[in-house]
Structure 1
Amino acid sequence: MFFIGTLAGCEAASEGRQVRSGNAAAVGLGLLCFILLAVIVGLSIKHNAEIQQIQNSYTNITLERDQLQTSYTNITLERDQLQTSYTNITLERDQLQTSYTNITLERDQLQTSYTNITLERDQLQTSYDNLTLERDGLQNIFCPPGWKKFMSSCYYISINMQTWDQSRMDCRGKGRGADLVIINSREEQEFIKRQGKGVWIGLTDAEEEGVWKWVDGSPLTTRFWMAGEPNSFARAEDCVFSKVGTFTLQTWLDMPCCAENIWICEATLSSS
């Protein structure tokens, strides 16, 4: 009986130890599970942080890539524009070079033409001078000694001074139809002016005041009056004097016929 009781006590003690052992195992297992869960949670948090970091890095890299792509596109566009500009400038340069070459050629041709024309001009001037000398030599043959030839007339310039009427008388006394000079053209006025002397000319209004006529009775048509002339001062200036020293062809002024001056005669060119 005692033995049976003892066995029962042993079994109870054994069950107690088993219960305590099971509780300890459960606690250990729970603790292990908690630790494992904490590790898992920690790893999960770390993993999520790494994923977020990687995601951020990816986003930044993607943004940089897009910016680089945009920069690349812009640079490529600029390069193409520069290439186009370079091509255009090169074309313009070539066109300018061609134009420069053409202009240089034209200039050289013009220079050659100018040189040739200058040479021809000089040759023609020489020929003209020679012909002028020959003409003057031939023309002087037909004018009396002491007379000068111009166009179809001979001219004589006096060396002394007389009144207008005395001067005309001297001219008419020289024969050949001579008289005080009648100026019919600008060229003849230039010839008279070139003689460098102030002279009586064959123009007067002695017959009718203000009506100027040449000594052959022809009316005045070509005029070379000085400024303010004729002024017929005191109505006593009826004869015309061609003054020396003016810068223009306007050399005529009216003077009293009694004044004494050098005179110039004109005669028709002789054919013998």
Structure 2
Amino acid sequence: MIFIPFALLLTLTSTEVVRPSSLIPPCPPGWSQFLDSCYHIENRTMSLPKAEKRCASKGATLFVANSLEEFDNITRLAPRNLFSWIGLAQFEERTSPIWQTTSRIDPSSL
């Protein structure tokens, strides 16, 4: 796994369909919104399996950026100089990291 210097970020996407902003429900209390997704920063130290379970318990996944704009906006929310789990992995047999779910951006551009 790759460690990125910011707190654990969770993402909850309400739908895959682009909707008018007037139809997007508000994020739950304590979550931040960017476009049609909600994000939560968890400020606790935990293992990757526990972080994934914590996300799942909130109906979310580890943060996976779909654009550089999203990555920049969400990482600005997080405290500096902290490490976290995100949905980006690097396996020994691979030379570069890959997103654990579908993402349109190349991790090397981050």
**TM-score, normalised by the number of residues in structure 2:** 0.61
1:118-139 C-alpha deviation (Å, 9 max, x unpaired): xxxxxxxxxxxxxxxxx7xx68
**Closer/same/farther in 2, CA of residues 157 and 224 from structure 1, 3 Å limit:** farther
Check conservation: 1:179, 1:215, Cα contact below 8 A.
no
For 2:87, what is the secondary structure of its paired residue?
strand
Q: Which residue does 1:148 correspond to in 2?
A: 32
Q: Which residue does 1:182 correspond to in 2?
A: 64
> How many residues align structurally?
87
Match of 1:203 among 65, 78, 88: 88
**Closer/same/farther in 2, CA of residues 219 and 141 from structure 1, 3 Å limit:** closer
- 1:1-272 equivalences under 5 Å are 141-175=25-59, 178-197=60-79, 198=82, 199-206=84-91, 208-216=93-101, 218=102, 221-223=105-107, 250=110
Distance 1:193 1:157 in 2: 10
Listed as ranges, the gaps of 5+ residues in structure 1 are 1-134, 226-249, 251-272
Q: More strand by proportion, 1 or 2?
A: 2
For 1:201, what is the secondary structure of its paired residue?
coil
For the aligned residue pairs, the C-alpha RMSD in angstroms reads 2.9
Distance 1:224 1:211 in 2: 8
1:76-120 C-alpha deviation (Å, 9 max, x unpaired): xxxxxxxxxxxxxxxxxxxxxxxxxxxxxxxxxxxxxxxxxxxxx
**Closer/same/farther in 2, CA of residues 142 and 212 from structure 1, 3 Å limit:** same
Check conservation: 1:202, 1:215, Cα contact below 8 A.
yes
The structure that has the greater radius of gyration is 1
The one-letter amino acid paired with 2:63 is V
Listed as ranges, the gaps of 5+ residues in structure 2 are 1-20
**Closer/same/farther in 2, CA of residues 219 and 182 from structure 1, 3 Å limit:** closer
Q: More helix by proportion, 1 or 2?
A: 1
Q: Compute the displacement of 1:194 (Å).
A: 1.2
Identity of aligned residues (%): 32
Q: Compute the displacement of 1:224 (Å).
A: 5.2
Q: Compute the displacement of 1:204 (Å).
A: 0.5
Distance 1:210 1:221 in 2: 17
**Closer/same/farther in 2, CA of residues 207 and 147 from structure 1, 3 Å limit:** farther
The one-letter amino acid paired with 2:48 is W
Task: Specify which structure has the bigger relative contact order, considering alpha-carbon pairs within 8 angstroms and separated by 6 or more residues.
Answer: 2
